[in-house]
Structure 1
């Protein structure tokens, strides 16, 4: 897998700026954020990836829920109906052509429904396979599509949501959404390690408290990659836009593993997150294919 070696650098494409009535702040290597750092830090503590709401006042939790935070209860008045297994990508065939014995023509373990959700132009796929429908344990493999087929990288252990997986994710259900979603944006508390993805670095990517198994959450957002489930692609992972409505959750990320289940995200060790950031290339139209093994076979 190409992720073991740094990729050649290239000019960054500009990031969209968030509009605000508050004072902007900047941090080295980041674009300007239009929300005060303290408010963003609090929103991260309530994101789908966080695993805790320790220290958050009920009034603040209710206010942030209106912005689409995943761990709080659904915002009242949300009536938008959403079909299960929404995908951020067009539903087109993933078969690039003939395969050799060294690389399968189709991603292994996937059934026709899941394969149909992978866009034809995707040349990188992060395959997250959950151990069971109700299990928080999973494994991750980054595949690269070539003329010979899908070439796999190493297998990495990972965590997903506490209660496993769902075809119909809602805010606070403690399950990770099943489906195929594009990967376009990254960020973190630490400086950009050299990814080709647009990267938002700053102090808002901070988390405290403990997770479901009493493990400390500090450092979980050192590196994050936004999963384009119910979010606006091309924005910071901290953007609160929820196109499907707050009831459908949001803030679903790949992030650094804290040693326990998440609220809805997928977590990898810091080393593997860094390798993934170095490997992903927007020109290859990367996607994440995620779900429990049985669901992915459909």
Structure 2
């Protein structure tokens, strides 16, 4: 029996239905835009537009030892928190200024005593001291032992009172030397630390000199030592603390500033 005229058969309906579903599916897929790929440059730009990222403030730079440059400062032991800076005018100058500084737990250096007027050797300073050259050695040296003709004024460093510290005669300007060694602090230049300043042992040999002290000023230049007025020597002896591993930093200003 034939189908009625004008009415599609089952096969025609099935084909039409499939075509319609395919068209609907195509329209649905094509109407959805693909997800954009990430753009690193745009992300970085957007992040910058949102403001800078919070960061920790830089640590403050500790206050340096005044007048002492990085080369000289490198010679100061890490454990040292007390430094006597003896600064001369130039390499041929025999007058200087001495100031005691201390370093706190944060690494900041500050003045603890002084400044004091000082003398050094007649001909000034040298980086290569020799016995009899009448120059004071420059550099950084430990201060660990003290003594003098007079009784201990309250020193924290080991103090050796001995009559052998007595001296006499006159200095380069004709000034009396008596009493110059009433108080002394041994500078650890060509000596054995831990011994009285009177010890004559010279590890570098006698040609390199020795017996370089900080002592009472006699009003003129020295052979090789540094000298301070009597009251200032007492103050220094009471201030130097072995637990702070004290040093003397000494020389002409230009050399110390390197």
**Where on the TM-score scale, by shorter chain, does this alignment land: which range?**
0.7 to 0.9
Structure having the higher Rg = 2
**For 1:251-292, what per-residue CA distance to the aligned partner results, in whole angstroms no more than 9, with x for missing partners?**
000000000000000000010000000000101100000000
User: Alpha-carbon deviation of 1:112?
Assistant: 1.6
User: Alpha-carbon deviation of 1:98?
Assistant: 4.3
Tell me which of 131, 156, 166 is aligned to 1:206: 166
Tell me which of 108, 116, 122 is aligned to 1:162: 122
Tell me which of 63, 70, 74 is aligned to 1:105: 63
Indicate the SS of the match to 1:162: coil
Tell me which of 115, 125, 142 is aligned to 2:73: 115
Q: Larger RCO: Structure 1 or Structure 2 (Cα < 8 Å, ≥ 6 residues apart)?
A: 1
Tell me which of 180, 203, 211 is aligned to 1:220: 180
Q: Distance in 2 between matches of 1:178 and 1:247?
A: 17
Q: Distance in 2 between matches of 1:98 and 1:146?
A: 14
TM-score (norm 1): 0.65
Q: Distance in 1 between matches of 2:95 and 2:172?
A: 14
Establish whether residue 263 from structure 1 lines up as the match of residue 239 from structure 2.
Answer: no
**For 1:81-107, what per-residue CA distance to the aligned partner results, in whole angstroms no more than 9, with x for missing partners?**
xxxxxxxxxxxxxxxx845xxxx6221
Q: Distance in 1 between matches of 2:79 and 2:166?
A: 34
Whose helix proportion is higher, 1 or 2?
Answer: 2
User: Alpha-carbon deviation of 1:109?
Assistant: 1.1
Q: Distance in 2 between matches of 1:255 and 1:154?
A: 16
Establish whether residue 183 from structure 1 lines up as the match of residue 143 from structure 2.
Answer: yes
User: Alpha-carbon deviation of 1:154?
Assistant: 2.5
Tell me which of 100, 112, 118 is aligned to 1:142: 100
Is the 8 Å Cα contact of residues 98 and 105 (structure 1) preserved in structure 2?
A: no
Q: Larger deviation: 208-217 or 152-161?
A: 152-161
Is the 8 Å Cα contact of residues 137 and 160 (structure 1) preserved in structure 2?
A: yes
Tell me which of 174, 185, 192 is aligned to 2:134: 174
Instruction: Say if 1:145 and 1:263 are closer, same or farther in 2 by CA, change over 3 A.
Output: same
Q: Distance in 1 between matches of 2:202 and 2:169?
A: 26
Q: Distance in 1 between matches of 2:228 and 2:136?
A: 15
**For 1:207-263, what per-residue CA distance to the aligned partner results, in whole angstroms no more than 9, with x for missing partners?**
100000000000000000000000000000000111111100000000000000000
TM-score (norm 2): 0.75
Q: Distance in 1 between matches of 2:114 and 2:93?
A: 22
Aligned residues: 198
Establish whether residue 297 from structure 1 lines up as the match of residue 257 from structure 2.
Answer: yes
Q: Which runs of 5+ in 1 are unaligned?
A: 1-96
Indicate the SS of the match to 1:250: coil
User: Alpha-carbon deviation of 1:297?
Assistant: 1.5
User: Alpha-carbon deviation of 1:110?
Assistant: 1.4
Q: Residue in 2 aligned with 1:54? A: none
Q: Distance in 2 between matches of 1:244 and 1:295?
A: 23
